[in-house]
Amino acid sequence: MDLQALQYLIIGVGILFAIVVIAFIFLNKKLKSSEVRQIQKLREGTKEQKFSLEVTYQKLYVFYLKAPFLKRYLLKLRRRLAIINVDDEYLTRKQAAKILTNTILIVIPLAIAIIIITHNNTLLMSILLIFELFMVDTFIDGMVDKLDNNLLREQIDFFAEIRHAYHEYNMVEEAIYQVAQDDDKPEMSRQAEKIYEVLISDDPESELEKYYDIAPNSYLKEFAGISYLTKEFGDRKIDNSSLYLKNLNNITQEMQLEILKRDKLDYTFQSLSVISILPMLAIEPIKNWAVSQFSFTAPFYNGKNGMLVQLLLILITFVCYILTRKLKDNGSTAMNTKNTENPWQEKLYRIPPIKKFVDLFIPKQGTKEYNKLQKKMKEAATKDRMEWIYINRIILCVLVFGASIIIFGQLHRITIENVYTDPTIDYDIVGQMSEKDTKEAMELTESDNDYLDYFKGNINVTQDQIELIMERGRVNKDYVDAKESDITNAAERVLDKLHIINSESLQWFEILLAMVFGVVAYMAPIWLLAFQAKMRQLDMEDEVMQFNTIILMLMKIERVSVEIILEWLERYANIFKEPITKCVNNYEAGAWEALEQLKEDVTYKQFIRIVESLQAAVEKIPIADAFDELDTEREYYQAKRKESNERLIARKGRIGKAIGFAPMVILFVGYLIVPLVFIGLTSMTDSFNSMQGMSAPGA
């Protein structure tokens, strides 16, 4: 840190201290007023004496809500937590403030570390600080996922207690009400109270649909649905056991498998996001070490090529970080993280001139391109609208094109600056120059700079002209009495530097490259949709297994039809939601034909087998007979589900490790080893050629 920056820091701290003193004096006078003293007397004996984190988090929530930058993250957190906490405003505020505070306590030290490490490289520091904003999402997602996982674990205990309560009361709603009074599991108790209110309402069917929209996970949806069906149609005995309790057991087994799956995913990916980010923090330390140990690498690391490798590494790190997050996503509450009602893209799209401009890029409805993009969006299960995607594409394209032009200009400036500031030396193999050698090299650089300023802009200058100016001493007197060979070498060196300076300006191919980068940025949101769709395909088998569990719970309930089963599958579907919705809409026009169309719309064999069983249940046999293998081979399906989850986690783990470690490999191979080897070999070759040239006349 230079002296001027230190002075500014001291002045800033002094001003801040003065503000604190003035505020203290003002508050002290305020507290001595009669009204305040009267309120304090009234509160004596009721106010908590010790420091309270509960109150602190509530105050922090209000503060964050007023802070323009933090407000965005706070509201994003709130949308996710409100689903888990169900109308508990106090707890939602407390958890949101706590998570955001913990995130800030992690991000601020990291920002300080970035500033300390990269304070000599303003461009790199700026990029890293901007990139750090994206990391906030990682911390927030991790903390909210932890709350969601805790809710799942509470559900398992809750269902165990429901079994005992149901044996006692033999009524679904009464059992739920009694267990909901347990204060040991507040999050689950709130969900149970909400389900109880649905069951005793005047119109439980419509209230149940409303609850489906706000339920934090599919297992609570299943529990609420099964409880409603049991209340409406009654319970029955299957093999001397309650069907309702059997279904509760099925849901519990599904949750146990999901918890194991999430735990394994968290363990597999727990450090990959951090590993993908760490190489950026190591760029400057590696650069400083290489330059200090091998001085011949300084032109590379301080020049245009080194900066290009840095930017490439940062770009790859950013892409790997995004892909790692998408790969790890366990689908818990991630679907609720965005403001899908009125995001900034929608606000921008409402501006008439911008709307007209964006509409020029959006394909017309019914065209092949429109249908293709719509299909990708459905496969990726994105909540974004097509207009928002195109706004993202256009903004990304413009930003990347502008940033590329600025970066190219910055690279030219760095190259010219290095010509004027780098010591003029021959390559050394290892180590640093002595203080004396450095001083002599800088004096030579300053002498060359005089001639560079004199000839700058003259693209037709020749070496003979430079030698003539040196001999006559027009620029400086350094070469007036010098040997002819020294003048020739100096003129050649100055001419080489002059060619670099005169050629370092924005070229046509760089504008073309910026346009190419802009096109790549324009396509990036579409490629991300394709990646998300590919990752969702890995979850197909898991979703079909969940369909089997739902059918197993429904098939023995009296008066349950194929249409009801399809409605339940639609409610819990993710990957197959679109074709199932189409089938439900067409069902009344012809059940067999609608199911036949569903078979044509999907290609996954295991799901087609479910559809064929549904077709058999429509016209030929009862539902229980059509799916009898689900009951008889329940243990097999459970074991298969476990094995499927393990394969899924292993596959995601392999892909995640390849993506997460890519920046680290590029850092050490592309930024350290390759430059050292290539520049070292080049330096040695030049040295051997120079020695051969010196020994040739003597031979």
Range of the structural domain that residue 413 is part of: 343-535
Q: For residue 644, what pLDDT is reported?
A: 77
* 531 domain residue, yes or no: yes
Size of the chain, expressed as the number of residues it contains: 699
Give percent of the chain with pLDDT exceeding 70: 85
Q: Of all helices (H) and strands (E), which one includes residue 236?
A: none
* DSSP per residue, 540-572: HHHHHHHHHHHHHHHTTSTT--HHHHHHHHHHH
Q: How confident is the model over 173-177, as a mean pLDDT?
A: 89
- List pLDDT tens digits, range 289-342: 888 887 777 778 877 788 888 888 888 888 888 888 777 765 443 444 454 556
Is 605:587 a contact under the CB 8 Å cutoff? no
In whole angstroms, give the CA distance from residue 668 to residue 649: 28
In whole angstroms, give the CA distance from residue 349 to residue 388: 8
* 305 domain residue, yes or no: no
Q: For residue 641, what pLDDT is reported?
A: 72
CA angle, residues 301, 303, 305, in degrees to nearest 5: 80
Q: Which residue has the higher pLDDT, 684 or 31?
A: 684
* 321 domain residue, yes or no: no
Per-residue pLDDT at 698 exceeds 70: no
- List pLDDT tens digits, range 245-256: 888 888 888 888
Closest alpha carbon to 325 in 83, 527, 135: 135
What is this structure's pTM? 0.67
* 483 domain residue, yes or no: yes
- Which residue type, as a one-letter code, is found at position 583? C
Where would I find the H helices in 329-351?
344-349
How many helices (DSSP H) and strands (DSSP E) are in the chain?
A: 32, 2
β-pair partners for 238: 241
- List pLDDT tens digits, range 2-40: 555 555 555 655 575 566 557 556 656 655 554 445 545
* 21 domain residue, yes or no: no
Q: For residue 268, what pLDDT is reported?
A: 80
Per-residue pLDDT at 98 exceeds 90: no
Q: Left if phi > 0, otherwise alpha if psi is -120 to 50, otherwise beta: which for 237?
A: beta
Q: How confident is the model over 555-566, as a mean pLDDT?
A: 83
* 75 domain residue, yes or no: no
Per-residue pLDDT at 488 exceeds 50: yes
- List pLDDT tens digits, range 401-417: 998 898 888 888 888 88
How many independent structural domains does the chain possess?
1
Q: Which residue has the higher pLDDT, 130 or 584?
A: 584
- List pLDDT tens digits, range 490-505: 888 888 888 888 887 8
